[in-house]
Amino acid sequence: MLKEVLVVEDEMIIRQGLKVLLEDVLGGFQVTEAKSGEEGLLHIRQQLPHLIITDIRMGGMDGLAFTAKVRQVSKDIPIIILSGYSDFEYARSAMRQGISEYLLKPVNRTELSEVISKIFKPTEVESIDTSKHFQKIIQYIQENLSKEITLHHLADYVDLHPQYIGQLFKSELDQSFTEYMKEQRLKRAKELLRDTQLKVYEVANLSGYKSPKHFMTIFKQKVGKTPIQFRNLT
């Protein structure tokens, strides 16, 4: 389920940039934009978001005044304050007023991702659910290594966002999806070379390599031996 994020920022280019970052780059979020604190409060009174990101300096109601109003409605909504370098100390003092995090402009996508991951750290029940999804993903990969597999294939299979699945590989295995796929294809190739008498091109095909020549090049680079040399030595 998509998490609702309210972005309160009077600069349109920053609002739209955050919308793209959250919806298209990180994924799993649906952004509502507000160009002022007053407009942000109107949205909150209609529907409480899962997260609020607000600029600290805006025309009219500033970020701290807006935050104070939000806290009258809800004590629990996580709030991220955006500030320029000159407002650094001002923003830090806001941490005592119920702000979850603050980020300096321009927003760095890696920092934003880390902050959001910390805010939405899964509970034990959600962790179990995530683990089940991930085991299902791993099983699918093992059963379909001979085929092309992308994050979008996996997303369709388990009904999750591709970007979220990519993040799962990082959090669960500490490696990227691409790194994992390369590792598993090479592992499968070694098993087939060691345990069968299949021809090299057949091993390549069953391990998911489209080109036997490419397979032999990659194998030599990673293993230090050609497929035939590896087979003869095992």
Per-residue pLDDT of 153-206, as tens digits, reads: 998 998 888 877 888 888 888 889 999 999 999 999 999 999 889 999 999 999
Q: Is the pLDDT of residue 89 over 80?
A: no
Q: How confident is the model at residue 90 (pLDDT cuts 50, 70, 90)?
A: low
**Are 61 and 97 found together in one domain?**
yes
Q: What is the 3-state secondary structure (H, E, C) of the chain?
A: CCEEEEEECCCHHHHHHHHHHHHHHHCCEEEEEECCHHHHHHHHHHCCCCEEEEECCCCCCCHHHHHHHHHHHCCCCCEEEEECHHHHHHHHHHHHHCCCEEEECCCCHHHHHHHHHHHCCCCHHHHHHHHHHHHHHHHHHHHCCCCCCCHHHHHHHHCCCHHHHHHHHHHHHCCCHHHHHHHHHHHHHHHHHHHCCCCHHHHHHHCCCCCHHHHHHHHHHHHCCCHHHHHHHC
Find the domain containing 8 and state its range.
Answer: 3-119
Q: Looking at 96, 119, 142, which one is the last position of a domain?
A: 119
Pair 46, 9 in one domain: yes
Average pLDDT over residues 5-28: 90
Same domain for 39 and 95, yes or no, is: yes
Q: What total number of domains does the chain contain?
A: 3
Say if residue 131's pLDDT is above 90: no
Q: Is 171 or 151 the better-scoring residue by pLDDT?
A: 151
At 170 the pLDDT is 84
State residue 27's pLDDT score: 79
Task: Summarize the confidence of residues 69-85 as an average pLDDT.
Answer: 85
157 and 226 both lie in a single domain: no
Name the domain boundary from 157, 174, 191: 174
Q: What is the pLDDT of residue 213?
A: 95
12 & 96 share domain: yes
Has residue 218 got a pLDDT over 90? yes
User: In this model, does residue 93 exceed pLDDT 80?
Assistant: no
pLDDT at 72: 86
Residues 135 and 114 in one domain: no
pLDDT number for residue 88? 63
Residues 13, 112: one domain?
yes
Q: Looking at residues 72-81, what average pLDDT do you find?
A: 87
**pLDDT recorded at residue 188:** 94
Residue 51 and residue 103 in one domain: yes
**Whether 80 and 138 share a structural domain:** no
User: Mean pLDDT across the stretch 27-37?
Assistant: 91
Residues 199 and 92 reside in one and the same domain: no
Same domain, 27 and 87: yes
Is residue 41 very low, low, confident or very high in pLDDT (cuts 50, 70, 90)?
very high
For the chain, give the mean pLDDT: 86
Residue 39 is predicted with a pLDDT of: 95
CATH for 102: 3.40.50.2300
* Band of pLDDT at residue 124, cut at 50, 70 and 90: low
104 and 14 within one domain: yes
- Domain harbouring 226, CATH code: 1.10.10.60
